[in-house]
Structure 1
Amino acid sequence: MKLSLNRSTALLPAFSRISLAIGLAGMLAFSGPSMAAAQQHKQVPYAAALAPGAPVSFADLIEEISPAVVSINVETHEEAPDAQLPEGMDQLPEQFREFFRRQQPGRNGKPRAREGRALGSGFLISREGYVVTNNHVIENASKITVAMQDGREFEAEMIGKDKLTDLAVLKIKDDKDFPFVSFAEDINLRVGDWVVAVGNPFGLGGTATAGIVSATGREIGRGAYDFIQIDASINRGNSGGPAFDLYGNVVGVNSQILSPTGGNIGIGFAIPARVASKVTKELIDKGSVTRGYLGVNIQSIDQDLADSEGLKAREGALVAKVIKDSPAKKAGFKTGDIVLKLDGKSIEDSRDLTRKVGELFVGHKAKFLVLRNGKRKTLTVTIGKRPDNLGETGTPEATTSNVDEFGMELGSLSQEDRDRLDLEEDRGILVERVEAGKTAFKKGIRAGNALLAAGSTDLNSPADFERAVNEARKAGRKAIRILVQNRNGQLFTALRLDETKSKKD
């Protein structure tokens, strides 16, 4: 059943004794996780606090939530890749090749399967025995065993996993009712709030640590989802375990640590409850996660790009490429569009757009406010299903990039150049040379790149580029947006006009 403390009898006497001992009046009694029958009442935290000061004790909280936290033991089985002969051996006669194959470890020259074990943590979210943990804990598992706080062990089966968020859901193979905890809903987690982490570090079993929220919205790598940073001690084996608030609600799923040695240095990262709750529900219902798909390559906007478009701030996401036959293509998206809003909600950057689109249901008709050639336009898109082979963000890395005044020598593109760049479009001019240390070089433009557009002008000759720069200056632009094609694909950058103008003056 759901864990809950008796508000009137379990806490009040204990806190009364504390009040007498320290000679303070007005100590409050705080409660535990809410039950369905008690949800009409306002929640108060487990831990009593001196005002100001740290909680007197986390004992009541930890005693109440610990039965729902489990240790996860995983046995892994991976087929080893076929043995590879040393380079050049494939030129030997077959009988010699067979001889060398037989020298490889394993039977008949076939490599042995790799067996291994892994440890992690998890927590129950229903009385039926559904367990949340990290995907990396149970990856390649052939057998999963869940150990309870009281020593009982149960075999568990995989229900679903999601590599993008590093979450997985297991189901204990037993019909018993299990203690469980709940995700915090609509919580406004702030830097400085207390958190308690419970897990199985280094296989020691149930271990509790406490700390505060060090940061929220922490971006790690190029993933679309952000993390909560906490300083509660997290070590190897804590992965998949819960981070609780003082009400006994799960505010995060411990996932990663930052450490040069592998041990705790006070920098841990948890998947926010908002993300974990949605993903785990979908894994339980369908066994997988379906995400919305727009079909564009996007990048964030730096200050130069913002100036080139006349934007007051670095806001929105810039469309670097529209994928063929994608929902975006069908809806009329064009390369160079800047997405400012999605269904009325402002877009901060490329990561924000990726996250918001991913949270949309397939088939949802979304309204995108875009900036195109200085004018705002609304596009309605029927959201598609995100392909499984798409990268974490589906966006190129944004590099920042700036006619001869920028340090470039421009020329015409040959068919060989177009083939080398995999350029199917008719437009484009060749960057023949870039002077080291000049503006274009500093912005990442290199010899061999192609410039496809400057501002809203397609480029078919170096004269087109010069004309576009002059028009941008007449319009009072501080920078001009450039669409660059290199071997990695298309990417927007902006070349500043005010810097080169001042140098010439």
Structure 2
Amino acid sequence: MKTLAIKLTATAAALAALSFGGYEAVRSMAPAHAGMLPAITAPASNTAGVALPNFRSIVERYGPAVVNISVEGTTKTSARGQSPLGRLDPEDPFYDFFRRFGPQLQVPQGEQITHGLGSGFIVSPDGIVLTNAHVVADANHVTVKLTDKREFSAKVIGIDKPTDIAVLRIDAHDLPTVPLGDPASAQVGDWVLAIGSPFGFENSVTAGIVSAKSRSLPDEGYVPFIQTDVAINPGNSGGPLLNLNGEVVGINSQIYSQSGGYQGLSFAIPIDVAAHVKDQLLAHGKVTRGRMGVAIQDVNQALAESFGLDSARGALISSVESGSPAAKAGLEAGDVILKIDGQPVASSAELPPKVAAVAPGKTVKLEVWRKGKTENVTVTVGEQKPAKVASDDEGSADRGRLGVAVRPLSPEEQRQADTKGGLLVLDASGPAARAGIQRGDVIISVNGRPVTGAEELRKQLSGAGKHVALLIQREDARIFVPIDLG
């Protein structure tokens, strides 16, 4: 039975799955099975006299640099009880006796060989190959097969799971390569093509267009994915996404699917992200990333109005880690980062990869929206490490305009929530409930102004307009919540 390496993700819109778009894993004893591939048909005619692209020359020139990757690994088999008579016939007169009273032998835990398939491409004539980390992770043996049927045992130089990039090396020289392009040059609507080994069908070519850019996917904070409608299936993982110049602009990595197969949504890692990771793995054997120590969220229209922004843009800081580079630079919760080193930050998803690409110890200049005006802040970037956030705890006041019953936090609760002041929500209704505020939330500030008591909260709300932004803490995270007061 053939199984796919699928990564499940919950979405608010539908119960769909983000699948690694190409790693095909099969048991070593599984029977061969031919998967059905979607038919690809060419448009009947040209539109408005514009000739459709012919990908043949690109494939002929750069196809030989695309490789098939097969991996072998092992998986643990769990211990289980087994009758000493093994497979005793149920019709045997002793079957029921041994089923009830026979001793059970505990079979020790063992290992079973597994095989997997993926794709990759050669970026250096001396045998450097790029692919996805999930293709070769935990593999005992990796084999790279070229289009001329030569096969090489590959060494895994390094993998970087946050970006899903792996670098391999094979012992060969004067190999065909494919040039790396600039993902910024690939615009929405541009033609792109993929070469890979879907379901093991080596060097299969599919084509489509760039559907969107800088897509943020759950749990993938360091990759601004390129979205395409190129047909990507299990086995395509790690293969190149090329533009009409034959340059690699991305590495095919994931698909968005309800079935595990292609449904028109494919995602590629921008090649500049992959190249940065490759260079670090080759030079140091590991990847270091910059960090500022902030939790951020998107700015929607309601939050933009609450903070006086002219449009919904930037990355809104919801909390600043104590002692972090951001804290030392004076960044505060409620600041909206609009630019980093002169580059606009249109959404919160754009900030993490930009910061991660900065070498620790270097400085960046931020343009920040604070209290109705822009300010420039210089931050010395630190090295990425797991984020630390505070926690909260649970215990009355007039519900007032907001619709909440609250009480002040005790000193111990303030310590746990890492805040001075704060109000614990005992119940929520009206505008607060409609916005998602719930019992147990801790209200930290209103429109960036800290609150320490119910009366102060009431005064701030009485002078507010139609919208306010509440900074709340829920469990171990802080987030700004826009409230429509009506």
The bucket for the TM-score relative to the shorter chain is 0.7 to 0.9
Displacement of 1:415 after TM fit? Answer: 5.5
Displacement of 1:222 after TM fit? Answer: 4.5
Q: Where does residue 15 of structure 2 map in the other structure?
A: none
Identity %: 39
Q: Where does residue 97 of structure 2 map in the other structure?
A: none
Q: 1:188 to 1:444 in 2, by over 3 A?
A: same
User: Which structure 2 residue ranges, 5 or more long, are not aligned?
Assistant: 1-45, 81-103, 392-398
1:424 is matched with which residue: 418, 430, 451? 418
| Matching residue's letter, 2:478 | Q
User: Whole-Å Cα distance in 2 between the matches of residues 247 and 395 of structure 1?
Assistant: 50
Following superposition of structure 1 onto structure 2, how do residues 134-173 of structure 1 map, counting pairs within 5 Å?
134-172=132-170
Q: Where does residue 245 of structure 2 map in the other structure?
A: 247
Q: Deviations over 1:54-75 (max 9, x none)?
A: 23x4333212212111100111
Partner secondary structure for residue 124 of structure 2: coil
2:125 is matched with which residue: 124, 127, 135? 127
Following superposition of structure 1 onto structure 2, how do residues 96-245 of structure 1 map, counting pairs within 5 Å?
103-106=105-108, 111-172=109-170, 174-185=171-182, 188-224=185-221, 225-245=223-243
Contact 2:333-2:448 at 8 Å conserved across structures: no
Q: Where does residue 291 of structure 2 map in the other structure?
A: 293
Q: 1:148 to 1:187 in 2, by over 3 A?
A: same
Following superposition of structure 1 onto structure 2, how do residues 446-485 of structure 1 map, counting pairs within 5 Å?
446-472=438-464, 477-485=465-473
Q: 1:395 to 1:237 in 2, by over 3 A?
A: farther
Contact 2:122-2:129 at 8 Å conserved across structures: yes
Q: Where does residue 405 of structure 1 map in the other structure?
A: 401
User: Whole-Å Cα distance in 1 between the matches of residues 211 and 453 of structure 2?
Assistant: 53
Q: Deviations over 1:31-65 (max 9, x none)?
A: xxxxxxxxxxxxxxxxxx9951223x433321221
How many residue pairs get matched?
Answer: 411
| Matching residue's letter, 2:137 | E
Contact 2:226-2:270 at 8 Å conserved across structures: yes
Q: Where does residue 42 of structure 1 map in the other structure?
A: none
User: Larger RCO: Structure 1 or Structure 2 (Cα < 8 Å, ≥ 6 residues apart)?
Assistant: 2
Q: 1:256 to 1:458 in 2, by over 3 A?
A: closer
Displacement of 1:103 after TM fit? Answer: 4.7
Q: Establish whether residue 496 from structure 1 lines up as the match of residue 471 from structure 2.
A: no
User: Which structure 1 residue ranges, 5 or more long, are not aligned?
Assistant: 1-48, 84-101, 397-402, 500-505
Q: 1:366 to 1:232 in 2, by over 3 A?
A: closer
Displacement of 1:263 after TM fit? Answer: 2.6
Displacement of 1:265 after TM fit? Answer: 3.0
Displacement of 1:285 after TM fit? Answer: 2.2
Q: Deviations over 1:408-452 (max 9, x none)?
A: 122233467557xx32333012222212xx210011111222212
Q: Whose helix proportion is higher, 1 or 2?
A: 1
Displacement of 1:175 after TM fit? Answer: 4.0
Contact 2:448-2:471 at 8 Å conserved across structures: no
Following superposition of structure 1 onto structure 2, how do residues 320-399 of structure 1 map, counting pairs within 5 Å?
320-387=318-385, 389=386
Contact 1:195-1:244 at 8 Å conserved across structures: yes
Q: Deviations over 1:107-152 (max 9, x none)?
A: xxxx223531110000100101000101110010111110111111
Greater mean deviation of Cα atoms: 261-270 or 251-260: 261-270
Partner secondary structure for residue 141 of structure 1: coil
| Matching residue's letter, 1:126 | S
User: Whole-Å Cα distance in 2 between the matches of residues 349 and 256 of structure 1?
Assistant: 22
Structure 1 runs of 4+ aligned residues shifted over 6 Å read: 80-83
Contact 2:390-2:417 at 8 Å conserved across structures: no
Contact 2:407-2:424 at 8 Å conserved across structures: yes
Q: Deviations over 1:337-366 (max 9, x none)?
A: 222222222222221121221121211111
User: Whole-Å Cα distance in 2 between the matches of residues 166 and 284 of structure 1?
Assistant: 16
Q: 1:299 to 1:59 in 2, by over 3 A?
A: closer
Partner secondary structure for residue 355 of structure 1: helix
Q: 1:257 to 1:144 in 2, by over 3 A?
A: same
Q: Where does residue 434 of structure 1 map in the other structure?
A: 428
Contact 2:207-2:230 at 8 Å conserved across structures: yes
Q: 1:154 to 1:316 in 2, by over 3 A?
A: same
The TM-score normalised by the length of structure 1 is 0.75
Q: Where does residue 281 of structure 2 map in the other structure?
A: 283
Q: Where does residue 257 of structure 1 map in the other structure?
A: 255
Displacement of 1:331 after TM fit? Answer: 1.6
